[in-house]
Amino acid sequence: MTGRTTDESRRLAKRLAEEISRLAVRPIRLMEVCGSHTVAIFKAGLRQLLPAQVELVSGPGCPVCVTPNEYLDTAVAYSRQPGVIIATFGDMLRVPGSSSSLAAAKMAGADIRIIYSPLESLDIAAANPTKTVIFLAVGFETTAPTAAATILAAEQAGLANWFALSAHKLVPPALRALLEAGGTRIDGLILPGHVSAVIGEAPYRFLAEEYRMPAVIAGFEPLEILQAVHSLARWLRLGEPRLANQYRRVVKPEGNPVARAVLGRVYGEADAAWRGLGVIPASGLVVRKEYQRFDARRKIPVEPEAAREPDGCRCGEVLRGMISPEACLLFRQACRPENPVGSCMVSAEGACAAWYKYGSGRWQG
């Protein structure tokens, strides 16, 4: 496992893998929804440790990956407007849009600043009162409360030149859409720990109740992931679809009500477009009427180019667990982390980037 893993952990991991092998009497296909799980699984070499009949597939839980080109094209178009400063996390910079990227716009002279906290974008706005600062607000339930708090802070600071270009997304509606769409077999879900820390357990109940889909909220340590796989294999064997929270040291059953209150104050639910999944009902967040003066789309006219997907990129199928990145003809060829063709190769949490970096890894036990 990792360098910090003790002999005891290795023994436990092997024992869990043996038990999983015994429980999985037929091929089972489990989706790790979250990109952080994908990376943890690869880093520890868990795919190699698990028996051949247990397949792990990556899901749509990488926010940069699921952000559609229309959003990127809009951000690029804003960046080209005179007097605009774009404030963004670094991942977004290299994501290819339809014909350009923020990195290319920056090279061409656009004022694009990398930030590490949304609050930094407020400092940039305060320091540049004659400029228009647009913060790129992308992410799931994990980061959306901070973006909401930043909008409240902008209001408190009386900033008139700060705006958010929001594309926050909600995980449970995407899971429902994934299961409704079919097209790929999924026998169980490893649910995202960080998202769950905000939303709690209740929003996932439909998985077992409506779709008979077992699911586990899991931590990110190799043993925690193996434990989740073990539970799923056991319930599948027993024919008992259950929802379990096995990350209780972080995820409270009720989630984080304070974070959700901030979120609910600033944002309301709306349909949202996901790369690979299309428009999913009530799967996104839009700024409420009371805060629309901070909504870039409402306040600053822009004309992005018509969005189109890169030729040959199969990111959408990767995000739905239909194919592994290696099935894409561009993987490791035209598409590499230093020259990504699609969004799944950009973020460290993207499935294609993880397969590229760790795909040949072996269990370190």
Q: Which residues bind ligand SF4 (CB under 6 A)?
A: 313-315, 318, 325, 328, 330-331, 335, 341-342, 344-345, 352
Q: Is 140 or 331 the residue whose CB approaches ligand SF4 more closely? A: 331
Q: At its nearest, how many Å lie between ligand SF4 and the CB of residue 190? A: 21
Q: Is 197 or 315 the residue whose CB approaches ligand SF4 more closely? A: 315
Tokens 């859409």 sit on residue:
177
Task: Report how far apart, in Å, the C-alpha atoms of 245 and of each of 29, 35, 44, 187 are.
Answer: 20, 18, 22, 18
Q: Is 229 or 330 the residue whose CB approaches ligand SF4 more closely? A: 330
- Tokens read off for 283: 């799967």
Q: Is 9 or 98 the residue whose CB approaches ligand SF4 more closely? A: 98
Distance of CA 232 to the CA centre of its chain: 22
Q: Is 228 or 315 the residue whose CB approaches ligand SF4 more closely? A: 315
Q: Is 135 or 356 the residue whose CB approaches ligand SF4 more closely? A: 356
Q: At its nearest, how many Å lie between ligand SF4 and the CB of residue 336? A: 8
Q: Is the dihedral angle over the CA atoms 62, 63, 65, 66 positive or is it negative?
A: positive
Residue 114, by phi and psi: left (phi above 0), alpha (psi -120 to 50) or beta?
beta
Which SS3 state, helix, strand or coil, does residue 163 take? strand
Q: At its nearest, how many Å lie between ligand SF4 and the CB of residue 309? A: 9
Tokens 């040291």 sit on residue:
249
Q: Is 70 or 224 the residue whose CB approaches ligand SF4 more closely? A: 70
- Exposure string of 280-317, with b = 16+ CB inside 10 Å and e = fewer, is beebbbbbeeebebbbbbeeeebebeebebbeebbbbb
Tokens 């952990």 sit on residue:
9
| Reduced DSSP (H G I as helix, E B as strand, rest coil) percent helix, strand, coil of the chain, to 5 | 45, 20, 35
Q: Is 40 or 341 the residue whose CB approaches ligand SF4 more closely? A: 341
Axis crossing angle, helix 257-266 with helix 144-157, rounded to the nearest 10: 60
Task: Report how far apart, in Å, the C-alpha atoms of 244 and of each of 93, 222, 254, 275 are.
Answer: 37, 17, 13, 29
Q: At its nearest, how many Å lie between ligand SF4 and the CB of residue 113? A: 26
Nearest residue to ligand SF4, scored by beta-carbon proximity: 342
Q: Are 135 and 164 in contact (CB under 8 A)?
A: yes
Distance CA 121, CA 119 (A): 5
